[in-house]
Amino acid sequence: MEENVFHHVLPIQLRFNDVDKFGHVNNTVYFSFYDLGKTEYFASVCRRVDWNRTGIVVVHIEADFIEQIFASDHIAVRTAVCEIGTKSFQLLQQVIDTKSGRVKCVCRSVMVTFDLERHETIPLPEEWVADICEYEGRDLRKKKR
Amino acid sequence: MEENVFHHVLPIQLRFNDVDKFGHVNNTVYFSFYDLGKTEYFASVCRRVDWNRTGIVVVHIEADFIEQIFASDHIAVRTAVCEIGTKSFQLLQQVIDTKSGRVKCVCRSVMVTFDLERHETIPLPEEWVADICEYEGRDLRKKKR
Amino acid sequence: MEENVFHHVLPIQLRFNDVDKFGHVNNTVYFSFYDLGKTEYFASVCRRVDWNRTGIVVVHIEADFIEQIFASDHIAVRTAVCEIGTKSFQLLQQVIDTKSGRVKCVCRSVMVTFDLERHETIPLPEEWVADICEYEGRDLRKKKR
Amino acid sequence: MEENVFHHVLPIQLRFNDVDKFGHVNNTVYFSFYDLGKTEYFASVCRRVDWNRTGIVVVHIEADFIEQIFASDHIAVRTAVCEIGTKSFQLLQQVIDTKSGRVKCVCRSVMVTFDLERHETIPLPEEWVADICEYEGRDLRKKKR
Domain that holds residue C24: 8-136
Distance from CA of A57 to the nearest CA of C (A): 14
Which of C22, C26, C61 lies closest to B55 in CB terms? C22
Number of separate domains in chain D:
1
Give all chains having 3 or more CB-to-CB distances under 8 Å with chain A.
B, C, D
Contacts of D63 in chain A (CB under 8 A): 60-62
Q: Is the pLDDT of residue C92 over 50?
A: yes
CA distance B29 to chain C (A): 8
Average of per-residue pLDDT across D6-32: 95
Between CA A101 and CA A96 the distance in angstroms is: 6
Closest CA to B114 of B58, B40, B32: B58
Assess if residue C110 is contained within a domain: yes
Assess if residue D38 is contained within a domain.
yes
Q: Is C142 domain-assigned?
A: no
Q: Which residues of chain B neighbour A19 with C-beta distances below 8 Å?
A: 20-21
Q: pLDDT for D53-75, tens place per residue?
A: 888 899 999 999 999 999 999 99
Nearest-angstrom CA–CA distance, B99 and D3: 40
C59/B63 Cβ within 8 A: no
**B-D contacts at Cβ under 8 angstroms:** 23
CB pairs under 8 A between B and C: 49
Taking an 8 Å cut-off on Cβ atoms, the answer to whether B60 and C57 are in contact is no
Q: Look at residue C64 in the predicted model and tell me its pLDDT.
A: 98
Shortest Cα distance, chain A CAs vs residue C63, angstroms: 19
Displacement of CA B78 from its chain's centroid (Å): 7
For the segment A80-120, what is each residue's pLDDT rounded down to a tens digit? Answer: 999 999 889 999 999 999 999 999 999 999 999 888 888 88
C144 band by pLDDT with thresholds 50, 70 and 90: low
Residues of B in contact with D17 (CB under 8 A): 32, 35
- Of B145 and A38, which is predicted with more confidence? A38
Cβ neighbours of A16 in B, within 8 Å: 20, 26, 28
> Is the pLDDT at B2 greater than 50, yes or no?
no
- Tell me the per-residue pLDDT of C33-68, one tens digit each, with 9 for 90 and over: 999 999 999 999 988 877 778 888 899 999 999 999
Does residue B1 belong to any structural domain of this protein?
no
Counting runs of H as helices and runs of E as strands, what totals does chain C give?
2, 6
pTM for the full predicted model: 0.92
pLDDT band at residue D19, thresholds of 50, 70 and 90?
very high
Residue C144 lies in a domain: no
Per-residue pLDDT of D91-132, as tens digits, reads 999 999 999 999 999 999 999 988 888 888 888 888 889 999
Contact criterion met (CB < 8 Å) for D28 and A31: yes
Distance (Å) of CA D23 to CA B29, C18, C21: 21, 13, 5
Separate counts of helices (H) and strands (E) for chain B: 2, 6
* Helical spans, DSSP H, in chain B: 27-45, 126-136
Q: pLDDT at residue C3 above 60? A: no
Looking at residue C1, its pLDDT comes to 45
Residue with the bigger pLDDT between D45 and C143: it is: D45
**DSSP calls for B38-69:** HHHHHHHH-TTS-TTTEEEEEEEEEEEE-S--
Q: Is residue C1 one of the residues assigned to a domain?
A: no
Task: Report the residue of chain C nearest D28, measured CA to CA.
Answer: C17
Q: Can you give the CATH number for the domain in which C22 is found? A: 3.10.129.10
- Let me know: does D113 contact D107? Beta carbons within 8 Å: no
Q: Identify whether A86 is part of a domain.
A: yes
Among A26, A55, A62, the residue with its CB nearest the CB of D61 is: A62
So what's the pLDDT on residue C47? 83
Residue A57 makes CB contacts below 8 A (sequence gap 6+) with A111, A112, A113, A114, A121, D65
Distance CA D122, CA C32 (A): 36
Mutate to test the interface with D, among B10, B14, B16 (most CBs of D within 10 A): B16
Any domain includes B142: no
CA A75 – CA A69 distance, rounded (Å) = 8
pLDDT > 60? residue C145: no
Q: What is the mean predicted confidence (pLDDT) over D76-82?
A: 97
